[in-house]
Every structure is written in C-alpha cells, then in structure tokens.
Amino acid sequence: MSGIMVILEQRADPAQREGRIARISWEALAAGQRLAAQLNLPISAVILGSETESLAAEIATRPVAKVLRVEHPLLAQYTPDGFTLALQQLIQTESPAYAVLPHTYQVRDYAPALAARLDQVLISDVVDISEGPIFTRQLMQGRLNGSYRHAGTGPCLVSVQAGAFRVEDSPATAPAAITTFTPTLDAAQIRTTPGQPFRGSSQTVDLGSAQLIVSVGRGIKEAENLSLVQELATALGAELAASRPICDNGWLPMERQVGSSGQTVAPKLYLAVGISGAIQHLVGMKGSQCIVAINKDPDAPIFEVADYGIVGDLFEVVPALTEAIRAARA
Ligand SMILES: Cc1cc2nc3c(=O)[nH]c(=O)nc-3n(C[C@H](O)[C@H](O)[C@H](O)COP(=O)(O)OP(=O)(O)OC[C@H]3O[C@@H](n4cnc5c(N)ncnc54)[C@H](O)[C@@H]3O)c2cc1C
C-alpha cells in the first residue's frame, strides 16, 4: 500500500463553469492532506476525463506529490460503468492505502460499485478524520455520530461530506509532476448512453460557493416581509437562502433551500434569521466558518451551533443591522 489518492471531480455544469474543479473536490483534497499528514504518506490527485491537460495543470499547483490524468475518449462524459472500470484499473495499479472522494451525486452513483469491484470498503459521507485514522459519519439525520476505523488491508474508499473539511490557502509550491494513465475501456462495456450534460439556467444559485449567506426561516411570518432580509443580504453583498418551510411555501425558489433535502453550504458567514435550527437544517450549514443567529427564543437550537447570537425580534434587529451595515460601508 502506498500513499493517499484523492479523486477530484469537474463541476457538473460545463456550460457555465467550463474547466473548473468543483469546490467540494478541494475539500476532499484537504481531507486527503489530513490523512497523508497523519499517516506520513505522499498524496496524489486524480482527474478523469478526456482532454484534461488544463485541469491537471491547475491541480498540479496544489500541494500534491503527483497528478494522475485518467484519460480516455470514453470518459469525456460521465458514465458509471466508464468511471468504475477506469478507477478500478487505476487503484489496482497504484494501490493507495486510502482513496478519498467528494461525496457528490456522481460519487454516490459509482463509488459503491467501485468498492464492490475492488472487494473493498467504502466509508461514505465522512465529516471528520481524527488520529487512527478514525472516520466520523453522522447517523439518524445527524443525531448520532458513528466512528469507523478501517481494519482491512485496503485500498479503503472514503467519501467526504460537503463543507466538512476546510480548504486552506496553500503556499505556492513548484508544480507537481503530471502523469497520464490510459485505462483499457471498450464502448461495449458502457451500458448507458449519456444524454446532454445538465445546463442550469443563468439564474441558478450556487450557494455552495457563496462566501456570505443570509438565511431566513419561518420567523419571517409572511412572504411580504422577505424584503427585510433581502435588504440585509444586499447591504452585506450576501446570497439569500432559506429554511425548508420558506421554499415549500413557494416564497423563495427551492434552489435556495439549505439543509438535508436542500443545499449544503460552508460560507465564511451564515446569518440565520428566524430559523429554529432543526437538525435537517443544521446538517446543511454547520460547516460555515462563522454562524450568527437572530431568534426571539433564547432556547432555540440554532444557538447551540451559533458563534454569535442575538436574542430579539427580527423585525427590530434586522432593519437596525441593515442600517448599521449601510452606515459602515458608506
Ligand atoms: C425528511 C425531512 C427533510 C427536511 N429537510 C429540510 C431541509 O433541507 N432544510 C430545512 O431547513 N428544513 C428541513 N426539514 C424541516 C425541518 O425539520 C424544520 O421543520 C425546518 O427546518 C424549520 O424551519 P424554520 O426554522 O424556518 O421554522 P420553525 O422551526 O418554525 O422556526 C421558526 C423560528 O423563528 C423564531 N421566530 C419567530 N418569530 C420571530 C421573530 N419575530 N423574531 C425572531 N425570531 C422569531 C422562532 O423562535 C423559531 O425558532 C426537513 C424535514 C424532514 C422531515
């Protein structure tokens, strides 16, 4: 067994973000770096596709020992069969101790099949890695934490939850070596025909990349009152997000919902306005660097995860805060 391998993923929407690595992939790299430091092993980064030169060059600027381009025309578009077969060959060749992946929809689609083909373990949706290494997963909608240790000989697959590992700015290093791995793939092995890649509308909100988020909950009472929080978000230069009831009511589009059935976010600032802090909401935002909560109930669960709390009526606090921010920025 040698080294830690991190498998990065391209952003899902090539129309808008061509040639870019999804943020959660850099978080997977951060998780891989933690593992590599603990085990004192070298780290390699993998990108799959066709014509991945520029992506590989971008990855090579990060602190990794080497970048592996898994190149094949049949990998130009994602298919579970193509990715599973290619990664099976790569992992069997490289024999890493751990292969770390971002817990994306794509990874959820192929990683169980990859683990089964390798006859290995997949520890999925990991939120922490401590000495051991011990992997933490959340159970029962985040009410319980489970600790997992890999007892086998590996390679062990580990997928990491969005927002769980912080991407640090890394000092500039000499670019890592890039090598190309060409898997043996035959079109007959690929049982699905990919359709057109998903292209979101230009209005699609990428809350996952937002640095500042103002999020509103049922405490706002009426759709007409949303302008209060919109003004606060505009003053801060923040994206507007919401808890589920706000989106269920159609007051804001579903793409702005944060939580277990919405988006997972990890901004620098998450300002929760009139949100109680139900577990299904917390799992989507507790990776935020700084959480500020405004709630009139001092016992609201949101205060358990908040770095700063304001106990008060949002209809008084929010306009005052907006004014203060505007004044500070004037
Ligand atoms: C399977 C499943 C999936 C779910 N997925 C999600 C999800 O993805 N995202 C999500 O958010 N929820 C989700 N939920 C719903 C979740 O359980 C909660 O019901 C929801 O998060 C509550 O939203 P809320 O905090 O806005 O409302 P409430 O729980 O009603 O809280 C409103 C808060 O506003 C405060 N408040 C009221 N008036 C004021 C005022 N004037 N000033 C200040 N504070 C005030 C109250 O004290 C209260 O704490 C899911 C539930 C299930 C069962």
pLDDT in tens, 112-154: 999 999 999 999 999 899 999 999 998 876 678 899 999 988 8
Choose among 186, 28, 190, 1: nearest CA to 93.
1
- Closest residue by CA, ligand 1 atom 49: 276
Confidence at residue 163, expressed as pLDDT on a 0 to 100 scale: 75
Choose among 89, 87, 110: nearest CA to 7.
87
Q: How confident is residue 325, by pLDDT bands cut at 50, 70 and 90? A: very high
Distance 207 CA to ligand 1 centre (A): 19
Bin 255: left if φ > 0, else alpha if -120 < ψ < 50, else beta.
alpha
- Closest residue by CA, ligand 1 atom 18: 278
Cβ atoms within 10 Å of 237's Cβ, excluding its own:
10
What are the domain boundaries of the chain? Answer: 4-189, 207-329
Distance 277 CA to ligand 1 centre (A): 6
Distance 219 CA to ligand 1 centre (A): 8
pLDDT tens for residues 209-241? 889 999 999 999 999 999 999 999 999 999 999
Whole-model pTM: value is 0.73
Query: Is 90 exceeded by the pLDDT of residue 295?
Result: yes
State the chain's mean pLDDT as an integer. 91
Work out the average pLDDT over 151-175.
83
Query: Is 70 exceeded by the pLDDT of residue 17?
Result: no
Distance 70 CA to ligand 1 centre (A): 44
**Taking CA 91 as the corner, what is the angle to CA 17 and CA 45, rounded to the nearest 5 degrees?**
40
Ligand 1 nearest-atom number relative to CA 217: 26
Distance 304 CA to ligand 1 centre (A): 15
Distance 167 CA to ligand 1 centre (A): 29
Ligand 1 nearest-atom number relative to CA 216: 26
Q: Report the residue among 276, 279, 282 best suited for mutation to probe ligand 1: largest number of ligand atoms under 8 A from its CB.
A: 276
- Burial string for 194-209 (b: 16+ CB within 10 Å, else e) reads eeeeeeeeeeebbbee
pLDDT tens for residues 230-281? 999 999 999 999 999 999 999 999 999 999 888 888 899 999 999 999 988 9
| Ligand 1 lining (C-beta closer than 6 Å) | 217-219, 243-245, 257-262, 274-276, 278, 280-281, 284, 294-297, 300, 313-315
Lowest-pLDDT range of 48-62, 189-203, 247-261, 274-288: 189-203
Distance 276 CA to ligand 1 centre (A): 5
| Number of residues that this document lists for the chain | 330
Pick the CATH number of 4-189 from 3.40.47.10, 3.30.200.20, 3.40.50.620, 3.40.1080.10: 3.40.50.620
Ligand 1 nearest-atom number relative to CA 315: 41
Q: Report the residue among 273, 275, 315, 317 best suited for mutation to probe ligand 1: largest number of ligand atoms under 8 A from its CB.
A: 275
Confidence at residue 141, expressed as pLDDT on a 0 to 100 scale: 65
CB distance 179 to 66 below 8 Å: yes
Q: Which long-range contacts (CB under 8 A, 24 or more apart) does 318-322 make?
A: 318/228, 318/229, 318/232, 318/273, 318/294, 319/228, 319/231, 321/232, 321/294, 322/228, 322/231, 322/232, 322/235
Q: Which amino acid is at 235?
A: A
Token pair of 160 as six digits: 């990491």
Exposed/middle/buried for 218, CB within 10 Å: 0-12, 13-18, 19+?
middle
Work out the average pLDDT over 61-70.
95
Ligand 1 nearest-atom number relative to CA 302: 49
Pick the CATH number of 207-329 from 3.10.450.40, 3.40.50.1220, 3.30.1330.10, 3.30.720.110: 3.40.50.1220
Query: Is 90 exceeded by the pLDDT of residue 1?
Result: no
Confidence at residue 100, expressed as pLDDT on a 0 to 100 scale: 98
Distance 265 CA to ligand 1 centre (A): 17
Distance 243 CA to ligand 1 centre (A): 6
Token pair of 306 as six digits: 């908040």
Query: Alpha-carbon torsion 141, 142, 145, 146, what sign?
Result: positive
> What's the CA gap between 191 and 82, in Å, rounded?
9
Q: Before 155, cis peptide (omega within 30)?
A: yes
Confidence at residue 15, expressed as pLDDT on a 0 to 100 scale: 46
Ligand 1 nearest-atom number relative to CA 294: 43
Higher pLDDT, 122 or 197: 122
